[in-house]
A and B are shown apart, each in its own frame.
Chain A
Amino acid sequence: MDISTKKTTDAPPPTPQPADAGHRRAPRGATRPGDRIFLGLSRGSGILLLVIMAAIAVFLSYRASLAISKDHGNFLTTFEWNTNVIPPSFGIAVLAFGTVVSSVIAMALAVPVAVAIALFLTHYAPRKLSGPVAYVVDLLAAVPSIVYGLWGALILVPHLNGLFGWLNDYLGWTGIFSWQGGAPRSLLTVGILLAIMILPIITNVSREVFRQVPQMHEEAALALGATRWEVIRMAVLPFGRSGVISASMLGLGRALGETMAVATVLSPTFDIQTSLLDPGGGTFAQNIASKFGEATQDGRDALIASGLILFVITLLVNGAARAIIARRKEYSGANA
């Protein structure tokens, strides 16, 4: 009973439906000027977007080609970033590794927690609690990244000594979690900080998606005798899956591009450590931020070349996410 009353209170969620249905009908009967103006505006906006993307790609590729032609090392495999000497020698291997690994750690930590928070807020928490908690999560998203960086460097890093020691004691034999006792400013630290930073985005979007699960699905499951956990497993999670994936991709986008927080917390070096706990590694954005001030013209071109690779990685990740969502369309809310 209490579930049904609860659901009726927030039954009509004001979902802004994209102009999905309209775009099929409008051009055909476009006799009135309003339709034609709107058609022109929207088509112009679409073209403008393509032009902007193309301009970015052309700029990045042109400057990158200038730098790569002067590179003395191999741009993809060199473990070095030395652009101010003659001849310059630089490569993105370490940066690509660090960017991907720290983002994967962040996702692995943040997504389960974010989904759990979203489920708690929509299906378990009493209404008195869920509102304030949701607002606090929203506030977390408003904290600038440099503030996270300062917090990370001054508070998180000193407090990670205990966790790192514990991981080394019990999981050190794996090699991935061995620790030589340096300051805990490693890729794992970055991953933990990034996880905290992307948590609010994933939580917010997941919460909105879970809230829109058709009430009939849940009531039907309940009527068949399902427990609340079974309702979540059979009705809520399948319905929300593509939404959670989209939310995770938003978070991943932030994690891949995060700059100042990483630069403040990481102890970057140009080599790849087998252990996630030993200081070292680096990310694209952090490297651009820390090398830009002293870079010469060639050095800037080299940094732009690394930015191009980040651009490509981000496009690939987004493309993969879209493919996953498209494949799962039959579960989504569109035909519920």
Chain B
Amino acid sequence: MKLQRTNRLRAVSLGAIAVSSALALTACGSDNTSTGSTASGGPSTSTNASAIKCDGAKGQLLSDGSSAQKNAIQAWVKNFSQACGVQINYKAGGSGAGVTAFTQGQIPWAGSDSALKPDAVAASKKVCSSGGQGIDLPMLGGPIAVGYNVNGVDNLVLDAPTIAKIFDGKITNWNDPAIAALNKGAKLPDLKIQAFHRSDDSGTTDNFTKYLKAATPENWKYSGGKTWQAQGGQSAAQSSGVAQQVKQTNGAIGYFELSYVGDGIKAASVNTGASAPVAPSSDSATKAIADAKVVGTGQDLSLKLNYNTKADGAYPITLVTYEIVCDKGNKPDTLPTVKSFLNYIASEDGQKILSGISYAPMPDEIISKVRTTIAGLS
């Protein structure tokens, strides 16, 4: 018995050592991440907070929606809550979750990377009192980069048919004549193309395939939507997962927001028929959005992008994300706060932040319409 007891004691102490060392390790870990995040969050906080009008904003604001605009919202919330003392909690649970929460009346505004569907508009009429309905306010754009990782290839140029064939499994090798024709002088290796797409439903997939469908309908015959439909290829969860796979795999190509480019991933330029191939950037995305038409009726400002734009320096694979609110009949206790927050993000100061964090500000013509609409919210 004695023997057993000491043995147990020893085992317990060993376990204790293991646990405490694990705790020590995690302590180090969280330390590192916190310093890392403050360092990366640094540049976006430099705007002066004095230009923000608070207008009776108070208390706490809950919201949910598109994860594509998460980083932008974070930067805005930081400045806005510093100036006005309002706590804003944006959950980034996905556009679908955001729209559902909005139409059930749980949150005063939602973020979404596609405009409201007719059935969601119908559902919103129950939430917005006095005859109002949910409307889309385009607030920021983002270029979707076609990122690749091929040793020795630096300035890849692709066009819509080639991109469609690569992601549909019709072009399977990097030295394919179709790619070589677009990249004269580049040394393309004899290497299998590994195309990665999103495994989860995603607005990024929706917008990427919308582009392929509009720009090269004969090569992309799928109906589109948030679910990836082409057969073959490989997939990973979230933009970060796709980027991680592209980074790990030589010969890989994938699509994700521009902020994931860098650190082993290069972004392809797109030959749109303009005078030179266009690389994804905040400016080139804004130029492409400037070619868009407003198709929403009434107060709704949903946009239809021109994916076949041939304007110089306009990058066509771009998504626009919306903020969704009621045009009339917002809840009186949250309206002032929502209105002043939207006012801030649509203001020049608010839009200026975007290009620093790989998003695209809205073109002047559209954002001025957005400002007018916000002023009329009730």
> Chain A interface (Cβ within 8 Å of chain B)?
9-10, 81-85, 127-128, 131-132, 134-136, 138-139, 153, 157-158, 181-183, 185, 263-264, 266-269, 271, 279, 289-297, 299
Does B39 make an interface contact (CB < 8 A)? no
- Structural contact, A295 and B7, CB atoms closer than 8 A: no
- Kindly list chain B residues whose C-beta atoms are within 8 Å of the C-beta of A139: 15, 18-19
| CA–CA, A254 and B24, complex, Å | 29
- Structural contact, B231 and A269, CB atoms closer than 8 A: yes
- Structural contact, A299 and B7, CB atoms closer than 8 A: no
| CA–CA, A32 and B229, complex, Å | 68
A181: nearest chain-B partner, CB-CB: B192
- Structural contact, B200 and A290, CB atoms closer than 8 A: yes
- Structural contact, A293 and B194, CB atoms closer than 8 A: no
- Structural contact, A293 and B231, CB atoms closer than 8 A: no
Tell me whether A269 and B94 are in contact in the complex, defined as CB-CB below 8 angstroms, given that A9-B1, A82-B227 are known contacts: no
- Structural contact, A132 and B11, CB atoms closer than 8 A: yes
Residue pairs across A and B with Cβ atoms less than 8 A apart, 19 shown, are A81-B227, A82-B229, A84-B227, A131-B11, A153-B244, A183-B194, A264-B237, A267-B234, A269-B234, A279-B234, A279-B235, A290-B201, A292-B94, A294-B202, A294-B203, A295-B96, A295-B201, A296-B96, A296-B99
| CA–CA, A297 and B10, complex, Å | 55
Smallest CB separation, B234 vs chain A (Å): 4
Of the candidates A83, A85, A135, A296, the one whose C-beta lies within 8 Å of that of B223 is A85
- Structural contact, A135 and B18, CB atoms closer than 8 A: yes
- Structural contact, A293 and B227, CB atoms closer than 8 A: no
Most chain A CB within 10 A, of B10, B202, B226, is at B226
Smallest CB separation, A162 vs chain B (Å): 15
- Kindly list chain A residues whose C-beta atoms are within 8 Å of the C-beta of B225: 82, 84-85
Smallest CB separation, B131 vs chain A (Å): 24
Of the candidates B3, B93, B97, B235, the one whose C-beta lies within 8 Å of that of A269 is B235
| CA–CA, A181 and B248, complex, Å | 14
Smallest CB separation, B154 vs chain A (Å): 23
| CA–CA, A128 and B223, complex, Å | 64
Most chain A CB within 10 A, of B67, B202, B227, is at B227
- Kindly list chain B residues whose C-beta atoms are within 8 Å of the C-beta of A297: 100
Q: For chain B, residues 220 to 270, give those with C-beta under 8 angstroms from any C-beta of chain A.
A: 223, 225-227, 229, 231-237, 241, 244-245, 248-249, 252
B197: nearest chain-A partner, CB-CB: A269
B8: nearest chain-A partner, CB-CB: A131
What mask results when residues 181 to 223 of chain B are scored 1 for a CB within 8 Å of chain A, else 0?
A: 0000000000010101001111100000000000000000001
Smallest CB separation, A319 vs chain B (Å): 32
| CA–CA, A94 and B126, complex, Å | 38
- Structural contact, B245 and A183, CB atoms closer than 8 A: yes
- Structural contact, A294 and B200, CB atoms closer than 8 A: yes
Of the candidates B15, B100, B241, the one whose C-beta lies within 8 Å of that of A264 is B241
B205: nearest chain-A partner, CB-CB: A294
Smallest CB separation, A28 vs chain B (Å): 41
Tell me whether A84 and B244 are in contact in the complex, defined as CB-CB below 8 angstroms, given that A267-B235, A296-B96 are known contacts: no
B contact residues, total (Cβ < 8 Å): 46
- Kindly list chain B residues whose C-beta atoms are within 8 Å of the C-beta of A264: 237, 241
A81: nearest chain-B partner, CB-CB: B227
- Structural contact, A185 and B8, CB atoms closer than 8 A: no
- Kindly list chain A residues whose C-beta atoms are within 8 Å of the C-beta of B18: 135-136, 139
| CA–CA, A320 and B108, complex, Å | 50
- Structural contact, A84 and B201, CB atoms closer than 8 A: yes
Smallest CB separation, A3 vs chain B (Å): 15
| CA–CA, A157 and B226, complex, Å | 27
- Structural contact, A296 and B199, CB atoms closer than 8 A: no
Does B4 make an interface contact (CB < 8 A)? yes
A128: nearest chain-B partner, CB-CB: B7
| CA–CA, A294 and B93, complex, Å | 8
- Kindly list chain B residues whose C-beta atoms are within 8 Å of the C-beta of A181: 192
| CA–CA, A269 and B96, complex, Å | 21
- Structural contact, B96 and A135, CB atoms closer than 8 A: no
A9: nearest chain-B partner, CB-CB: B4
| CA–CA, A135 and B145, complex, Å | 48
- Structural contact, B248 and A294, CB atoms closer than 8 A: no
Smallest CB separation, A302 vs chain B (Å): 11
Most chain B CB within 10 A, of A127, A153, A271, A296, is at A296
- Kindly list chain A residues whose C-beta atoms are within 8 Å of the C-beta of B284: none
- Structural contact, B234 and A185, CB atoms closer than 8 A: yes
- Kindly list chain B residues whose C-beta atoms are within 8 Å of the C-beta of A83: 227
Tell me whether A158 and B199 are in contact in the complex, defined as CB-CB below 8 angstroms, given that A10-B4, A82-B227, A295-B96 are known contacts: no
Of the candidates A85, A290, A294, the one whose C-beta lies within 8 Å of that of B237 is A290
- Structural contact, A183 and B234, CB atoms closer than 8 A: yes
- Structural contact, B96 and A299, CB atoms closer than 8 A: yes
- Structural contact, A263 and B201, CB atoms closer than 8 A: no
Smallest CB separation, B10 vs chain A (Å): 7
Does B153 make an interface contact (CB < 8 A)? no
Smallest CB separation, B43 vs chain A (Å): 28
Most chain B CB within 10 A, of A10, A132, A267, is at A267
A84-B226, A294-B95 known, 7 other contacts, Cβ within 8 Å: A85-B223, A131-B14, A138-B15, A263-B199, A268-B199, A279-B234, A297-B100
What mask results when residues 1 to 35 of chain B are scored 1 for a CB within 8 Å of chain A, else 0?
A: 10110011011001100110000000000000000
- Structural contact, B201 and A132, CB atoms closer than 8 A: no
| CA–CA, A134 and B233, complex, Å | 43
- Kindly list chain B residues whose C-beta atoms are within 8 Å of the C-beta of A158: 248
- Kindly list chain B residues whose C-beta atoms are within 8 Å of the C-beta of A289: 200
- Structural contact, A293 and B15, CB atoms closer than 8 A: no
| CA–CA, A268 and B242, complex, Å | 12
- Structural contact, A131 and B7, CB atoms closer than 8 A: yes
- Structural contact, A293 and B237, CB atoms closer than 8 A: no
